[in-house]
Amino acid sequence: MNFQLTKEQEFVRKMVRKFAETEVEPIAADIDKEHRFPTETVEKMARYGLLGVPIPKEYGGAGGDNVSYAITVEELSRVCGSTGVICSAHTSLCGWPLLAYGTEEQKQKYLVPIAKGEKLGAFGLTEPNAGTDAGGQQTRAVDKGDHWELNGAKVFITNGGYADVFIVMAMTDKSKGTRGGISSFIVEKDFEGFSIGKTEDKMGICASSTTELVFQNCIVPKENLLGQVGEGFKIAMSTLDGGRIGIASQALGIAQGAFDVTVEYMKSRKQFGKSLNKYQALQFEMAEMRTRIEAARLLIYNAANMKDNHLKYGPYSAMAKLYAAETAMYVTTKAVQFHGGYGYIKDYPVERMMRDAKITEIYEGTSEVQKMVIAADIFGK
């Protein structure tokens, strides 16, 4: 049993923290206000390997482990939740399924530029009538002999407006249902019949891009089937198992960021003749917040470490995501409260952090869905 980070992981934290504080934090409030996707930050993240942390070097990645990846998303999210999810969706939801299920040709063609960050990735599962209930997929893929033809639409797709490569789930045989009826495809943004629909106007993570994907007789080459026909649901679920480590890390980072800002605020804010940090009632609340943050961190790093060791980590990443997301809401809500009126205005970052935190309880499986995953591990499906 060893709870110490490796030397590599310590250096990754040091590097990403410096990067985040220098490149991301100064623009975080502006890109949130302007709802502007930070293309310039994405280019810099690519240059330093932040968009391919857990992908092996032979496929253009940094050759890191999943704990380092979790730390990367955490440290980015500590200053900007939007930037954190750009990294997470790209890496977990596009890079990883290509690595796990792609053929060698697919890896060379798609994974290498994704891992290098030359291209941005996204993942399309959710539909207007099929979120967690993936079996309700209405997007259909029909085998046209020399290609697949996709028709339908996806919603709430992170990175949608800026991604070059999409992993898309579509029904290939409705009679087989969820398991066996869904397949995965690699779709390029320029494929005929593929377009980006509406961009969502969100409560938080406003600098991230969330869009619809529209398929109208979209032509997908035969060789762009990911995995086997009918394997789509398995690919989607295993991808989300890993994605939850990313979102849990995003939630953890947001919580830590709000906590750190609040510690500094409490030292400088004086009321009734003494600074806020001298009030024991507030100290105890901060102690509670920090304890929850540390517990979330251990759950996440443990799930990431289990993934690195090829253990069955799915229920553990669900627990990590459930707990980290709720911790993010708990801590950011308190952080706003501790800032009083200043917490409610946009001059201080905690207002943005509280809005950003909420989504972590919703996407890549709501907190309720995480409980379903965990309960299934207890009682069976």
Report, as residue numbers or ranges, the catalytic residues: 364
Indicate the residue among 6 and 309 with the shorter CB distance to other proteins.
Answer: 6
Among 24, 31, 42, 62, binds other proteins (CB under 8 A): 62
Angstrom distance (rounded) from CA 269 to CA 3:
36
Sort 362 into a burial class: Cβ within 10 Å, 0-12 / 13-18 / 19+: middle
Among 11, 34, 129, 270, binds other proteins (CB under 8 A): 11
Under rule CB under 8 A, residue 245 binds other proteins: no
Among 24, 27, 31, 53, binds other proteins (CB under 8 A): 53
Q: Are β-strands 194-199 and 210-221 bridged in parallel, bridged antiparallel, or unpaired? A: antiparallel
Among 27, 28, 49, 106, binds other proteins (CB under 8 A): 49
* Chain-centre distance for alpha carbon 178: 24
- Of the candidates 298, 297, 254, 262, the one whose C-alpha atom is nearest the C-alpha of residue 283 is 262
Indicate the residue among 79 and 335 with the shorter CB distance to other proteins.
Answer: 79
Q: Are 136 and 149 in contact (CB under 8 A)?
A: no
N-terminal to C-terminal alpha carbon distance within the chain: 31
| Structure tokens that stand for 308 in this block | 């690195």
Among 28, 37, 59, 61, binds other proteins (CB under 8 A): 61
Under rule CB under 8 A, residue 57 binds other proteins: yes
Under rule CB under 8 A, residue 197 binds other proteins: no
Angle, CA 97 vertex, CA 207 and CA 254 arms, to 5°: 35
Under rule CB under 8 A, residue 64 binds other proteins: yes
**DSSP code, position 277:** G
Q: Are 50 and 19 in contact (CB under 8 A)?
A: yes
Under rule CB under 8 A, residue 112 binds other proteins: no
Indicate the residue among 14 and 267 with the shorter CB distance to other proteins.
Answer: 14
Indicate the residue among 49 and 227 with the shorter CB distance to other proteins.
Answer: 49
Query: Residues 67-106 vs other proteins: string with x where CB under 8 A?
Result: -x---x----------------------------------
| Structure tokens that stand for 204 in this block | 């938080």
The residues binding other proteins (CB under 8 A) are: 6-8, 11-12, 14-15, 18-19, 47-50, 52-53, 57, 61-64, 68, 72
